[in-house]
Structure 1
Amino acid sequence: MRSLATIFSRRLLAFWLSTLSLAAIPATHADEARPPVAVQFSLDRAIDAVAAPFVMASTRGLFRAEGLNVSTNVASGTRDTITRIASGASDLALADLNALIRYRDGADAAPVKAVFVFLNKAPYAIVARHSRGVSALSSLDGKTIGVADGDLAIRLWPALARRNGIKLANVKQEKISPAVREPMLSAGQLDAVTGFSYLSAVNLRNRGVPADDLAVFRYADYGSVAYGTVVIVNPKFAADRPEAVRSFLRAVTAGMRLAISQPAQAIDDVIAQMDGGSRELERERLRIVMHDNILTDDVKRDGLGGLDPARFEASLGEIAEDFSFRKRPSVADIFDGTFLPDPAGRKID
């Protein structure tokens, strides 16, 4: 009996030693043993410099370091990315927050939420030409604005006009195709167009319109508090893979830091993903989006990715100028900040 007890004790000791040895294996080795989590990510438009943080997160191994295998695809706009997320075709995507708010008000809307604010200020703008007699926002009175199908900026135009004393009836809108927005303005067939400041304004310079002939009226400079593009998540993916969502946002935050600190490398990575992109054009696009839409005073104070409840509430008032809510949403209905990196990790030095 004493011999059996000794054998048992030795085996028990060996078991505990082996258990302790496994526990002592560094976490990185354990992580390497696990297969990466597959993630389907959708951009809302074709890759250009604006997507630099996501491109760098992929090309510089930031997603891989977080244990993710991210496949990126390109959608045909915000409506498409929201549809992909709602259906489960994509796990995470970029979408316009104001469009998401309108979508969520629908009776049959899926409970899609934003988890990271990418563009802290919406890039909505009216781009006009001085040579067409537009030198100030007020001088749009009596002019014609080209509005592309599916344009997001025009939805907040009523709020912008009211705030700045412009009569909507005095500004004519002409529906156009997105493909002819810049060509028609550069040809003088329109007085102005609505769009994004980092798209239309930069593209027009590339078409030969002199910079000093362009008037760019950014909504944010005229009282708009609207947020811009956000990362949205499929509800089931968020529930089943919460750590994967956190990992994705950590990698994107790191990619953002790289794009900020290494803009030349960011452009190299972006150009390699584009078909015939212009380095000079994309360098200017990155400079504009960083200065106007990402590195805002709010971000410098609070860090990347977050959303201020008071500002969100004020932005709902802008949306309501052109939209009738069935039920006015709360911040919690639209934004889930629990996946964000810790505050210290989101600060920009």
Structure 2
Amino acid sequence: MRPTRRDFLKTSAAAGALGAAGLGLPAFAQDPTTLKLILNWRYQGPQAWFFLAQDKGYFKEAGLDVVMDQGNGSGAAVGQVAAGAYDVGFGDVNALIQLAATKPEEAPICVYQMYNTPPFTVGVLASSEIQSAKDLEGHKLGGAANDGALKLWPAFTNIAGIDTAGIEILNFAPNLREQMLKSGQVDGVFGYVNTIRFSAKLAGMDPDTEIRFINYGDYGMDLYSNGIIVSKALAESNPDAVRALVRGINKGIADTLKDFDAGIDAVASREPLINKAVEKERLIATLEDEMAHDEVKVVSLGNIDPERMKKAIDIVVQANELPRTPSVDEIFTDAFLPPEDERIYELI
């Protein structure tokens, strides 16, 4: 049987560990390994675990110097890793699937699947006539160009049977989204449910009464979402660094689950102007709505159900009429998951 990329990664990881052991030295005994990591968005509650892991020294202890930057969209993070601007990204695995289907040699790989429930949505005013996906026909919609939900819009229109002929799509900066909706300049906005919900709250809206969500998942798009994505070059050349990074992030999540306030404090230390109460709500909602899929209790956070991932890949490929169907092993590898006794099976 021909070895798969997963086999190669596991072999590389084992070789790296044995090499360090053979020298009688711990991994990363020399100079720190610098990793540039691009997040999905600006600093908010759901970034807490990254910062808490950094503040508690988990990366430093493993010989890593992790430099984190704010992102401008989950889809953009994938492209930036693929282009070599960053070693690691917190990006949308569906954008990864699309890239792997068209440019497999450039595509990164997901090593820790964090968001396992589809958050993609079009938010509309509850007072509008738009009640369902078909009702979006003939309306003006908008969002950031690199927004994950907007990138999946062609797939959603295909699956939901939406006629796009009369729909106008307007691009604008992410920080304008809720204001554009509130002021009626667009009839719907693309985004993740909790991103829109809590940004609207910060803008003075009551999202529970003023916004209706047309969720992609309600129309059969049972997709994964954001995960830790690394370049294949990094995974193959320095598997120990990838493993240490994933383990540190996993420990940061575990610590955040034990103390939400500590996590929010870690965010506030980078972004002092955040509303800590709202960001704590956003963090908890993200755990509940985007990370607590039932499969976590079986496979653990960070891992996937291969059959479900295969179906998700098929949905993205068919809906976007992509030229090839990537294998699950091209999109995700479990070679870098944390030790079994550190894995997370309960979230909230």
TM-score relative to the length of structure 2: 0.82
Aligned with 1:168 (options 147, 163, 169): 163
Q: 1:145 touches 1:171 (CA, 8 Å); kept in 2?
A: no
Equivalent in the alignment of 1:124: 120
The alpha-carbon deviation at position 174 of structure 1 amounts to 3.0
| Structure 1: distance between partners of 2:158 and 2:101 | 24
| Structure 2: distance between partners of 1:33 and 1:339 | 20
The alpha-carbon deviation at position 82 of structure 1 amounts to 3.2
Equivalent in the alignment of 1:114: 110
Question: What runs of 5+ residues in structure 1 fail to find an aligned partner?
Answer: 1-22
Equivalent in the alignment of 2:186: 190
Does residue 287 of structure 1 match 2:284?
Answer: yes
For 1:35-50, what aligned pairs fall within 5 Å after superposition? 35-50=31-46
The alpha-carbon deviation at position 267 of structure 1 amounts to 0.8
Does residue 233 of structure 1 match 2:233?
Answer: no
| Structure 2: distance between partners of 1:109 and 1:268 | 40
- Equivalent position amino acid for 1:316 in 2: I
119-128 or 313-322, which deviates more? 313-322
Question: CA separation of 1:86/1:192 partners in 2, compared to 1, >3 Å: closer, same or farther?
Answer: closer
| Structure 2: distance between partners of 1:113 and 1:261 | 29
The alpha-carbon deviation at position 227 of structure 1 amounts to 0.9
| Structure 1: distance between partners of 2:38 and 2:195 | 19
SS at match of 1:297: coil
Deviations 1:134-155 (A, max 9, x none): 3455554554433442332134
Equivalent in the alignment of 2:324: 327
| Structure 1: distance between partners of 2:96 and 2:149 | 14
Equivalent in the alignment of 2:274: 277
Question: CA separation of 1:107/1:187 partners in 2, compared to 1, >3 Å: closer, same or farther?
Answer: closer
Does residue 134 of structure 1 match 2:137?
Answer: no
| Structure 2: distance between partners of 1:344 and 1:224 | 33
Q: Quote the RMSD (CA, aligned, Å).
A: 2.7
For 1:191-230, what aligned pairs fall within 5 Å after superposition? 191-211=187-207, 212-230=209-227
Q: 2:29 touches 2:63 (CA, 8 Å); kept in 1?
A: no
Question: CA separation of 1:107/1:248 partners in 2, compared to 1, >3 Å: closer, same or farther?
Answer: closer
- Equivalent position amino acid for 1:208 in 2: G
Does residue 97 of structure 1 match 2:93?
Answer: yes
Deviations 1:290-310 (A, max 9, x none): 111112212133211112221
SS at match of 1:301: helix
Deviations 1:106-143 (A, max 9, x none): 34742421111121123211111111233455554554
Equivalent in the alignment of 2:246: 249
| Structure 1: distance between partners of 2:294 and 2:235 | 30
| Structure 1: distance between partners of 2:104 and 2:330 | 15
Question: What runs of 5+ residues in structure 2 fail to find an aligned partner?
Answer: 1-20
Q: 2:108 touches 2:231 (CA, 8 Å); kept in 1?
A: yes
TM-score relative to the length of structure 1: 0.82
Deviations 1:303-336 (A, max 9, x none): 1111222112221233235423222110111212
- Equivalent position amino acid for 2:183 in 1: A
Question: CA separation of 1:248/1:140 partners in 2, compared to 1, >3 Å: closer, same or farther?
Answer: same
Q: 1:122 touches 1:229 (CA, 8 Å); kept in 2?
A: no
Aligned with 1:156 (options 152, 160, 165): 152
Aligned with 1:316 (options 313, 319, 325): 313
The alpha-carbon deviation at position 75 of structure 1 amounts to 4.1
Identity over the aligned pairs, expressed in percent?
Answer: 26
| Structure 2: distance between partners of 1:307 and 1:108 | 21
- Equivalent position amino acid for 1:252 in 2: I
Equivalent in the alignment of 1:19: none
- Equivalent position amino acid for 2:62 in 1: E
The alpha-carbon deviation at position 169 of structure 1 amounts to 4.1
SS at match of 1:225: coil
Q: 1:303 touches 1:343 (CA, 8 Å); kept in 2?
A: no
Equivalent in the alignment of 2:66: 70
| Structure 1: distance between partners of 2:185 and 2:78 | 34
Equivalent in the alignment of 2:52: 56
For 1:338-349, what aligned pairs fall within 5 Å after superposition? 338-349=335-346
Does residue 262 of structure 1 match 2:259?
Answer: yes
Question: CA separation of 1:176/1:79 partners in 2, compared to 1, >3 Å: closer, same or farther?
Answer: closer
Equivalent in the alignment of 2:301: 304
Equivalent in the alignment of 1:12: none
198-207 or 214-223, which deviates more? 214-223
| Structure 2: distance between partners of 1:206 and 1:222 | 29
* Structure holding more helix per residue: 1
Does residue 180 of structure 1 match 2:176?
Answer: yes
